[in-house]
Amino acid sequence: MSSTILVTDLEAAINWWRDRSPSPDGISAAPEVRALAEAYALLALSRATELDTDALKPQALDAWLAWYATTPDSPCIAICSTAQGDPICKGCGRSFDEVQQWPGLDPFEKRAVWHRITFEGTAWRFNRYAERGTKP
């Protein structure tokens, strides 16, 4: 089964690599940036907002996964209302199934959940207890 990467994640990974490995001459880019930029170009040419991970070359996938490893793994803020029977956690915005299955989800599935809950913005992690979501 194939997964997708959203354009915003590609942009974030490119910018992370640009900060991590800046151009020595203002023109050339690190190999990771070039690999991710090629994937980004595929999105731009097709006017798409997400890219099938099968279309990524190994170096681009490795660069994306290195960036991903620096992102918070779980949206949990230690206020889990699914434990009290809510179908959607008031704290993080994940469904009961997503909370239960989280350890087994791959990075692409986790990012899809992160994008959804961020877009919805209704979970307490985004308003009432936003400071909890910023702590490592």
Task: Judge whether 76 lies within some domain.
Answer: no
What is the Cα–Cα distance from 99 to 74, expressed in whole angstroms? 9
Q: Do residues 39 and 86 share a domain?
A: no
Domain with 19, as residue range(s), is 4-68
Q: Do residues 50 and 22 share a domain?
A: yes
Residue 100: how many CB atoms within 10 A of its CB?
Answer: 11
Task: Judge whether 130 lies within some domain.
Answer: yes
Q: Do residues 86 and 124 share a domain?
A: yes
Q: Do residues 57 and 108 share a domain?
A: no
Exposed/middle/buried for 97, CB within 10 Å: 0-12, 13-18, 19+? exposed
Q: Do residues 88 and 58 share a domain?
A: no
Confidence of residue 127 (pLDDT cuts 50, 70, 90): confident
pTM value? 0.83
Task: Judge whether 50 lies within some domain.
Answer: yes
70: helix, strand or coil: coil
Q: List pLDDT tens digits, range 67-76.
A: 999 999 999 9
Q: What is the mean pLDDT of residues 14-22?
A: 95
Number of domains within the chain: 2
